Chain A
Amino acid sequence: MNDKALSVRNLCAGYHGTEVLQDISFSVNAGDYVGICGPNGSGKSTMIKIILQLLAPTSGEVSLLGTPQASFHDWHRIGYLPQGLQFFNPHFPATVDEVIRLGRLSGKKFPRRFNRDDAWAVDRTMEWMGISHIRGAMIGELSGGLRQRVLLARALVNDPALLVMDEPTTALDPETRESFYKLIFEMNREKQCTVLLVTHDTATIGKYASHLLYLDKKVVFYGSFDDFCNSSEMTGFFGEHGQHLVCHRH
């Protein structure tokens, strides 16, 4: 069995001649919780989009769950939660139930019909996340926190082996954010789901993630938190920012 959830080798990417990612290499073991941080424009979101095949790299290789990306078809084993829906229309006429069920499409062959197993998976996920009571509500009528919870349920409805999140709590208040991250942490522990979390919220990384990937167009640091905490050199390099992470870790 291959226990690598993700492997990135010599990845380079750019837009209109500007290099955004320079020779990125790292690998993530199954069950790890990796927090990805870095300054604005450091290439975090670009890297996530390349991993999910939403963007093409200029060079380099990505392997997902032990399979090279080019021949990877098990997209149902990967859950994705973006920062917020790109062009979200608050009047979109979809119920919570319908939105979560969409997550089940990825594992299906054309014409991608839903069956009883899908209904059962949706029920189970909603129950686990405590949102069964809003199953008939319209997605646009929910608060930002509840809406992100519904989108998380959509990402988790297939019991993914890898969950990728790109700044999922930007629009949430601190209390909702905390309960959101607790849920992710529980899922990582209980279901051994590998988590990749892009965030500026360094306190969260310090508190919940097992590994830290610090990007600034290239990999500045990648390793376990223990390594990071024990490295006075790294703490010195990151200055107050690094200190902040360490403080929240302990």
Chain B
Amino acid sequence: MNLNEMLSYGFMQRALIGGSLIAILCSVLGVFLVLRRLSLIGDGLAHVTFGSVALALFFRLHSVYMTLSIIPVVLASALGILKLAQKARIYGDAAIGMVSAIGIATGVMLASVAGGFNVDLFSYLFGNILSISSSELAIAAVLFFIVIAGVVMFYNELFASTFDEELAKSSGLNTDRINTVLVLLTALTVVLAMKVVGIMLISALLILPAVSALQIAKGFKTAIVSAAGIGVATVICGISLSFVMNLPTGSTIVLINFAVFLCAFAARTLLRHS
């Protein structure tokens, strides 16, 4: 099968466009999350998404409304993680673990009580970008512009508080507000990424392009741009390869990302020793 033939399919066009938009968001936010040691918040929010999807399936919502209906739940959970960490005297990772466990428990409970939608629920666990519809792509595009606008507007503040929160605070920056913006943007991105790699592998899309870029970047801006480039390239390669070789798309994207990380790590090691 040649490239032209592959691109002639409408579902492939939608998958490549939607996948690229989501890859950019995951990679850019991933750099901030990895450097702030918050990588696993993606995993925690993904598990909340699992519970929310189960809830939406329980009420038999159409897939378009499902994305829209789970957004407020995931946003509220993201704020819950922040508040738990700030007010309940528990560390951030424990707060993520708590909210994550509640999400999974809710999903399993609903699936067990309702019965009959387990197949649908499991399709969300592993994702399928090739089945993205035009209306879902439109939602992805709108959310993409919202998240990118948020990152652009808060870029310098996010950079400052990622570099050192105390220094940022001493400069008069409102670091609580910056943290809230970051987790809310991450929550929106997690909901979108669910379609590409599935709930189980969302954190990989947030972490792997970022850590690959951090191996080779020579500055903060170049780290962000490199991560976005790696994210888009690996998602496009993953979608294409999975289509041609009949492989699961989410897993293919994640494994290609890991291969890129190994190459970046090797390149960094070689450069250091040369």
Chain A residues contacting B160 (CB-CB under 8 Å) are: 102, 105
Are B166 and A86 closer than 8 Å at their CB atoms?
yes
The CA-CA distance from A27 to B204 in the complex, in Å, is: 54
User: CB within 8 A of B164: which of A75, A88, A105, A138?
Assistant: A88
When the two chains form the complex, which single residue of B35, B37, B166, B171 contacts A103, counting CB atoms closer than 8 Å?
A: B171
- Chain B interface size, as a band, is 20 to 34
Interface mask (A89-114 → B, CB under 8 Å = 1, otherwise 0): 10111110011001101100011111
- Let me know if B163 and A99 touch, CB within 8 A: yes
Is chain A's interface secondary structure helix, strand, loop, or mixed overall?
Answer: loop
Q: Across the interface, do A112 and B157 meet the contact criterion of CB distance under 8 Å?
A: yes
A94 with B156: CB separation less than 8 A = no
**B35 → A minimal CB distance (Å):** 6
Asked if B245 is at the interface of the complex by the 8 Å CB criterion, the answer is no
B3 at the interface (CB under 8 A from A): no
Q: Are B169 and A54 in contact (CB under 8 A)?
A: yes
A72 to B222, CA, bound (A): 36
Contact of B221 with A106 in the complex, beta carbons under 8 Å: no
A152 to chain B, nearest CB (A): 12
Structural contact, B217 and A86, CB atoms closer than 8 A? no
Instruction: List the B side residues contacting A86 at CB < 8 Å.
Output: 164-166
Would you call A73 an interface residue if the criterion is a C-beta within 8 Å of the partner chain's C-beta atoms? yes
What B residues does A99 contact at CB under 8 A? Answer: 163
Measured in the bound complex, the distance between the Cα atoms of B158 and A110 in whole Å is 12
Query: What residues on A are CB-neighbors of B159 within 8 Å?
Result: 94, 98, 102
Selected A-B contacts with CB under 8 Å, 10 pairs: A85-B164, A86-B166, A87-B37, A87-B164, A89-B35, A98-B220, A105-B157, A111-B152, A112-B157, A114-B156
Rank and list the top 8 A-B pairs by shortest CB-CB distance, nearest first.
A75-B172, A106-B171, A93-B223, A80-B170, A93-B217, A95-B219, A111-B153, A52-B170
B interface residues, Cβ below 8 angstroms from A: 35, 37, 152-154, 156-157, 159-160, 163-173, 214, 217-223
Q: 5 other contacts beyond A86-B165, A86-B166, A105-B156, with CB at 8 A cut-off? A: A85-B163, A92-B163, A93-B214, A105-B160, A111-B152
